[in-house]
Amino acid sequence: MGRRAGSWDPPVWSGPWAGLLLAASALISCLQPVPAQTSITIAPQSPAVGGNVSLAPQPPPQDWVLCKWFRSAITDENRRILTYYRNTNPAQNNGSAHTGRETAGSGCALNIAGLKLSDTGNYTVQVDLASGSPPILTVTLSVYE
Ligand SMILES: *[C@@H]1O[C@H](CO)[C@@H](O)[C@H](O)[C@H]1NC(C)=O
Ligand SMILES: *[C@@H]1O[C@H](CO)[C@@H](O)[C@H](O)[C@H]1NC(C)=O
Ligand SMILES: *[C@@H]1O[C@H](CO)[C@@H](O)[C@H](O)[C@H]1NC(C)=O
C-alpha cells in the first residue's frame, strides 16, 4: 500500500481552465495576507469602577492558535492573566495574575468584569498565529471612579 510521493500526474496548465485558475489565484492573493494586529481597542473607552471592559486586538486575529494576556507592559509569565486556546478544551487557562473576573472572548478579547481602581495599568497580549511571528501589543487601561 501507500502512494509514492510525486507519483501523480501534474495538472495540465492549458485550455479554458488555465485562465480561470489564474483569475482565482489573483483574487486569493488580493484577499491575503490578513494584516497582523496593530492595536488594542478598549470598550468602553473610559470604564467605571464596578463596570465591565473589553480589550480587543485589532484587526481581530484570523489564523490564531493561542492568545496570552498579561497584567504587565511585557510578556511576563508571573503576570499572566490567562491563555486562550483555539482548539483545546478547556479553552481558557488561568494564570497567576487572574483575579476571577477575567474571561477570554471572541477575537482573543480580554473581558474584565467588576472593575476595580487597581485594574488601572498596562495589559499586554501575545497572539500566536499559525504562520508568522507573534505580534505583541500593550495597552494602558484607566478605570474611573
Ligand atoms: C478561569 O477563570 C474563569 C473566570 O473566573 C472561570 O470561569 C474558569 O473556571 C477558570 N478556569 C479554570 C481552569 O480554573
Ligand atoms: C458585567 O459582566 C458580568 C459577568 O460577565 C455580567 O454578569 C454583567 O451583567 C455585566 N454587566 C454589564 C453592565 O454589562
Ligand atoms: C505602563 O507602562 C509604561 C511603559 O512601561 C510605564 O511608563 C507606565 O508607568 C505604566 N503604567 C502603569 C499604570 O503602570
90 lines ligand 1 (CB under 6 A): yes
87-131 pLDDT, tens digit each: 999 999 999 999 999 999 999 999 999 999 999 999 999 999 988
From the CA of 108, how far away is ligand 1's center (Å)? Answer: 16
Question: To test the ligand 2 pocket, which listed residue (49, 52, 54) has its Cβ within 8 A of the most ligand atoms?
Answer: 52
Span 12-70, pLDDT tens digits: 555 555 555 455 555 445 555 566 788 999 999 999 999 999 999 999 998 899 999 99
Domain of 84: which CATH number? Answer: 2.60.40.10
133 domain residue, yes or no: yes
Here the cell at position 30 is 488580493
Predicted pLDDT at 34:
60
| Residue 79 belongs to domain spanning | 47-141
Number of domains into which the chain is organized: 1
Q: How far apart are the first and last CA of the chain?
A: 71
Identify the nearest ligand to the CA of 103 by its number.
1
Count of Cβ atoms closer than 10 Å to residue 122 Cβ: 14
Q: Is 5 inside any structural domain?
A: no
Tell whether 19 is covered by a domain. no
Per-residue pLDDT, 19: 53
Cis? peptide before 35, omega within 30° of 0: no
